[in-house]
Structure 1
Amino acid sequence: MYIQYTMNQLTLPMDLEEDIPQNHLIRVVNAAVDRLDDAIFDAAYPGGGRDSYHPKMLTKVIIYAYTQRMYSSRQIAKAVRENVMFMWVAGRQRPDFRTINRFRSERMKAVLETVFTAVLQFLADEKYVQLDHYFVDGTKIEANANRYTFVWGKAVVKHKAKLQENVQTLFAAIEEAEKQEEGAHSGRDLCELGESSGITSEKLEIAVKQLEERLQENPKDKPLKKAVRVLRKDLLPRLQKYESHEDILGNRNSYSKTDKDATFMRMKEDHMRNGQLKPGYNVQIGTENQFILGYSVHQRPTDTRCLIPHLEKVKSQLGKLPRTIIADAGYGGEENYDYLEQNEADAIVKYSTYHREKSKAWQKDISKIDNWTYNTEQDTWTCAAGQTLIFRRVSKEKTESGYEIEHRHYRSSSCEGCPLKPQCTKAQGEREIKVSMKYLRLKNQAREKLRSEEGYALAVRRMIEPEPVFGDMKNNRGFRRFLLRGLPKVSLEVGWLSLAHNLLKKAAVDAKNKGAKHIQAA
């Protein structure tokens, strides 16, 4: 009537491997990590102290946990004690949550990228990827930080300037009071400090000490005593605070007080559905066949300035850049095109106006220089009305990264009486244009590649490359917010996610290929 059941049958240790299917994901993770050279982990263990858990065992446990939507170290430690798959891959060892968290966020900070590159190499050896085409895209992931404790760069600059004005006013008042007293200090040093445009906390500290020395000579000087108290208790600490904010901000416009590396960014998926800013990081990945070939984490909200640092990291890992770089219009720009050309990489990268150029409205718009004619020999432009714009001067500007862009300025001789002027420009005088000839040349090259048969096919393929990977991370595996804080630890989290994704994808491809073989055999 019933299958025989007794607890006595569990008295002997069970062979856990008997309960694990041959094609299970845990076997893929186990085999992949076993292929790694033990010497890779030597940098994480300087020696000394008691014996540690084997790094391969902890690596297997964490990678498999990330494939199962387990990101909390406490959840992983609980699974190692209770889950058959974790118990098998851990060899029945039971590291606690502190050991797991310390391993993934501290021990592996100098090793994880090497592990990722080694796993990627054996994926390339087994022809899962060819490292030929590199599809780049980015997404924003919320930081583990308070959404409402923030520092804004513009506010810091404004308040600091106001404080410097108050310091100048206070020094001027002290000088005026000293001039009215016979035999008093002239206050010249303080006046010069007050009139200087850049009052730093170091200079202000010196000035306060000078005033404190004068106060000791004349302790009954109440105005001076009040001024020293205001400087020491209020103005100097605030100036030091503003300088600290500026050091943390760097080139950014905001940061969170909870996670000072996080920048406030506008997220697509917002908890209040109103597009408010939240602290986060810009995660850049490159894929091929939906395998992640490279990853990087940035504090910059826009993708344009992230491409070159991301590709530099990929080049350092792989030894060279993939032959073809494919990206959307968010990465188009002179600096990025020039970088790809110098590194001899084919750029299938759209620019911001690529799709609009195909519209009839754009092609009929006489104000666009794309619809004008350029004379290379005479270095002149001819507008739709037949007017010639002659070269006037050259101007140069530098981007935040230090890249120099050269613009050539052209101006028409006379636009007076031109019937097309209202459609061409809103300027009162003559029409003047500013053109970067290098960007114009690079943009024309990008347009030709994008409109070629291969370029069009790769641009279409880009839609099904990195986008599904982000969808898998955020929706299927529920990773929408970082657990760790600080840019180094957040980068480690992305590395663990990328490792887990690649092995999960390998298992899916293997299962698909095996199913296809069974169908062919039948």
Structure 2
Amino acid sequence: MARKHDKVVFKNYNPNQYLMPIDPEAFIPQNHLVRTIDKIIDKLDISSLIEKYKGGGISSYHPLMLLKVLIYAYIQGIYSSRKIARALQENITFMWLAKYQTPDFRTINRFRKEILGDTIEDVFAEVVELLVELGYVNFEYYYLDGTKIEANANKYTFVWAKSTRTFKKKLREKVKNILEEIERINEEEDKALGDLDVKLETDYDSKQLEESVEKINRKLEEAEFKSKRKEKRVKKLVKVLKNDCVFRLKKYENYEQILNGRNSFSKTDNDATFMRMKEDHMKNGMLKPGYNVQIGTQNRFVIGFSIHQSPTDTVCLKEHLEAVKKMTGFTPKNVIADSGYGSEENYLHLKECGINSYIKYNTFDLEQTRRFKKDIFNVKNWEYIVEEDAYVCPAGKKVKYLYPKISVNERGFVSYEKVYQCEEICNGCEHREKCYKGRRWKKRFSVRPRLEKLKEEVRQRLLSEEGKEIYEKRKIEVETVFGIIKNNKGFRRFLLRGLKGVKLEWGLVCIAYNIERLAKIIIGGWGKIVTQPSCCLLHSSILTFNGIKSSILVIKNYCFWTASCM
């Protein structure tokens, strides 16, 4: 039988009774994340931020305090300046971190855009340098990948390069027809406008068209037409040229300048390019304005990042590594990436820089299958005669070198090919249907010797035991970082616009991620607290014991050891 109570007892609650003074210090545990983050950021050199202040006038909020607040807000998944300002008044950890100062959202946003905008790379480099000093990263292995983040722009404000070229071509045809009609009317009116001579060059611009329209207008003011109807017609045509054609031509020229080789841009954010975001339930992709964000990781710390307007990862590698070198001063020794980066241009660039590439090419996995290796109709499985520079097909016929071929891509990279052709007609061959499906009488194919040599080097590196172990870690390195940032932190759309704003915002995201990961390791992920923490980091040491590289962190009243991974 259940016990029956005579009365219900509650904890004492009196809304009108307070304990004064209320000290937030007492409510934040000594091993709370915010305390460790506070001490880590104190170790950063923020002289580049202080130099941005002009001085004079009313005193400003200290940049160190604002930097701490911004980074902690991004760690908590708060990206809006208004929400950050509200947290400074309502959230006890924010109040403690800001030491009860309450800058408004305008101050926070102004600091983020104007002060951090030009110095975000310096702050990120400081964080990376701290990680290097503590032994967590050393740029020995650099795991590279990219993801697409939606821009702060309307998805219906697209401008396509192909459409712009088409509309511009049609507009020029319209201008040509109008000028021809004006010339015809002028001839019919016994050259009432005099000798116009308004024929334009093939690639005329809006300025030249505007000058021609002004020339016609000046002559139109002095002209005397026999037919009022034709005079009105000419005036109407000139009005169309001035108010419509010149305006539209200027618009298309502006579009081409903004596009700058891209296939699209957004009218809301001109720097954003339309890309497939893979956000529908089938992951098929939706065209939205966005940016291609590239990051490099080691030990799941972000040690390099860059922002790109191209949706293709292949063209981003060279620019990304140059940006990382400029930002941090480091060059990775080994680059690990998926097949999206596998190209002759990238392989050659890495080799010239002395970087080992662990990057698959698009057919790498297929080549390891039994079916591929046993396919006698695959050119890569044919016998090659070095002396004659010829292949032997399954029918025993020789496929000899025919002529060289040179191709240049849009970035100016030159690729060399060798074209081969069978010395005999293939029409009567019993393997014709399976071996060659082209329309020519003789089988023809091309080979890139330099690319094949580079692929062989990469293949040997990836198939080695060390290579397999290194490449396997790619799945838990950079993919994990993207998962935490996009899914756990909810960062799927930029708030700021333009390349500068996007670079600033993503830099803050990476800094916040690194500091949070480091703080969690210090608090208890890998370390052990000896006594309650008090002050700042005193020194760190790197030791090797039984082949295991370890970091010893000594903080006042703190002592941690961490085993360093590759």
TM over 0.5: yes
Among 353, 356, 369, the residue aligned to 1:359: 369
What CA distance in whole angstroms lies between the structure 2 residues aligned with 1:497 and 1:473?
8
Q: Hey, what's the Cα distance between the residues in 1 that align with 2:455 and 2:224?
A: 72
1:182 aligns with 2:190: yes
> Which residues of 2 match residues 504-515 of structure 1 at below 5 A?
504-510=516-522, 511-514=524-527
Number of the residue aligned with 1:423: 434
Which of 208, 215, 220 is 1:215 aligned to?
A: 220
Quote the offset at 1:515 in angstroms.
5.7
Moved more, 368-377 or 97-106: 368-377
1:203 is aligned to: 208
Q: Mark the CA change 1:15 to 1:165 in structure 2 (over 3 Å): closer, same or farther.
A: same
Partners of 1:322 and 1:37 in 2: CA distance: 24
Q: Distance in 1 between matches of 2:529 and 2:103?
A: 40
User: Any stretches of 5+ residues in structure 2 without a counterpart?
Assistant: 1-8, 226-230, 532-560, 562-566
Contact 1:366 1:423 in 2 (8 A): no
**Bigger Rg over Cα:** 2
Look up the equivalent residue of 1:512 and give its one-letter code: G
CA distance in 2 between partners of 1:515 and 1:475 (Å): 30
Instruction: Give the letter for the 1:503 counterpart.
Output: I
- Does residue 301 of structure 1 match 2:311? yes
1:322 is displaced (CA, Å) by 0.9
Residue type of the alignment partner of 1:462: R
Q: 1:457-510 deviations in whole A, cap 9, x for unaligned?
A: 111110000111111011111111111111110111111110111111112323
SS of 1:255's equivalent in the other structure is strand
CA distance in 2, matches of 1:311, 1:403: 17
Report the Cα distance in structure 1 between the residues aligned to 2:56 and 2:530, rounded to whole angstroms: 51
| 3-state SS of 2:288 partner | strand
Q: In 2 relative to 1, CA 102–183 (structure 1 residues): closer, same or farther, beyond 3 Å? A: closer
The Cα shift of 1:318 comes to 2.8
Q: Out of 358-367 and 252-261, give the one that drifted further.
A: 358-367
Listed as ranges, the matches of 1:439-454 within 5 Å are 439-454=451-466
Query: What SS does the corresponding residue of 1:281 show, helix, strand or coil?
Result: strand
Alignment partner of 1:437 is 2:446: no
- Contact persistence 2:50–2:63 (CA under 8 A): no
Flag the 1:270–1:492 CA change in 2: closer, same or farther, 3 A: farther
Whether the aligned pair in 2 keeps the contact of 1:255 and 1:262 (CA below 8 Å) is yes
C-alpha contact (below 8 Å) 2:194/2:219 kept by paired residues: no
**1:489 paired residue number:** 501
The answer to whether the aligner puts 1:18 opposite 2:26 as a matched pair is: yes
CA distance in 2, matches of 1:307, 1:246: 26
Distance 1:219 1:327 in 2: 74
Residues 516/376 of structure 1: CA separation in 2 closer, same or farther (3 Å cut)? farther
Q: 1:460 and 2:465 equivalent? A: no
* 1:395 aligns to 2:405 (yes or no): yes
1:76-225 map, 5 Å? 76-183=84-191, 189-191=197-199, 193=200, 196-218=201-223, 220=225, 221-225=231-235
Other structure's SS at 1:409 match: strand
Deviation at 1:357, TM superposition (A): 1.4
**Corresponding residue for residue 480 of structure 1:** 492
Q: Which structure shows the bigger proportion of residues in helix conformation? A: 1
The answer to whether structure 1 residue 253 and structure 2 residue 253 are counterparts is no
State yes or no: 1:407 paired with 2:417: yes
- Output the amino acid matched with 2:154: N
Q: Aligned to 1:44, what secondary structure does the other structure show?
A: coil
Q: Could you tell me whether the CA contact under 8 Å between 1:256 and 1:264 is conserved in 2?
A: yes
Cα distance change of structure 1 residues 467 and 176 upon mapping to structure 2, 3 Å threshold: same
Post-superposition Cα deviations, 1:293-328, rounded to whole Å, max 9, x if no partner, equal 111111111111111111111111232311100000
SS at 1:131 equivalent: coil
CA shift at 1:184, angstroms? 5.5
Aligned equivalents of 1:480, 1:320: Cα separation in 2 = 29
Q: How much has 1:412 moved relative to structure 2?
A: 2.1
d(CA) in 2 for partners of 1:162 and 1:318?
49
More displaced stretch, 493-502 vs 212-221: 212-221
The SS at the match of 2:418 is: strand
| 1:309-365 Cα deviation digits (max 9, x unpaired) | 111111112323111000001110011111100110000001111111122333344
Tell me the CA shift for residue 44 of structure 1: 2.1
Q: Which whole-Å CA distance do the structure 2 matches of 1:472 and 1:465 have between them?
A: 11
Alpha carbons of 1:273 and 1:465: their partners in 2 closer, same or farther (altered >3 Å)? closer
What residue identity is the alignment partner of 1:432?
Answer: R
The answer on whether the counterparts of 1:32 and 1:119 sit within 8 Å (CA) in structure 2 is: no
Q: Report the equivalent of 1:288.
A: 298
Corresponding residue number in structure 1 for 2:546: none
Change in CA separation of 1:60 and 1:238 when aligned onto 2, cut-off 3 Å? same
How has the CA–CA distance of structure 1 residues 502 and 219 changed in structure 2, closer, same or farther, with 3 Å as cutoff? Answer: farther
2:286 alignment partner, one of 273, 276, 287: 276
Instruction: Give the match for residue 345 of structure 2.
Output: 335
- SS of structure 1 residue aligned to 2:197: helix
The match for 2:553 is none
User: TM-score if structure 1 supplies the norm length?
Assistant: 0.93
Count the aligned residue pairs.
515
Tell me, yes or no, if the aligned pair for 2:192 and 2:224 is still in contact at 8 Å: no
For residues 377 and 186 of structure 1, do their structure 2 counterparts lie closer, same or farther at Cα, with a shift above 3 Å needed? Answer: farther
Q: TM-score, normalised by structure 2?
A: 0.86
CA distance 1:505–1:77, shift in 2 (3 Å)? same
Decide whether aligned partners of structure 1 residues 364 and 202 sit closer, same or farther in structure 2, where only a CA change above 3 A counts: farther
CA gap of 1:272–1:471, structure 2 versus 1, over 3 A, is same
Equivalent runs, 1:310-321 vs 2, <5 Å: 310-321=320-331
- Checking the alignment, whether the CA contact within 8 Å between 1:175 and 1:186 is kept in structure 2 is no
Aligned equivalent of 1:55, options 51, 63, 76? 63
Give, in whole Å, the separation in 1 of the partners of 2:424 and 2:257. 51
Given the superposition, is the C-alpha separation of residues 175 and 366 from structure 1 closer, same or farther in structure 2, using an over 3 Å criterion? Answer: farther
- Paired amino acid for 1:502: N
Can you give the 5+ residue segments of structure 1 that lack an aligned partner in the other structure?
none
Q: What is the alpha-carbon distance in structure 2 between the residues aligned to residue 219 and residue 270 of structure 1?
A: 66
CA deviations 1:387-428 (Å, max 9, x no partner) are: 323333333222222222222222222233222222222222
Distance 1:321 1:291 in 2: 16
Equivalents in 1 of 2:179, 2:222: separation in Å?
Answer: 19
Cα deviation for residue 454 of structure 1 reads 1.1
Q: 1:213 Cα shift? A: 2.0
Shift of residue 292 of structure 1?
Answer: 0.4
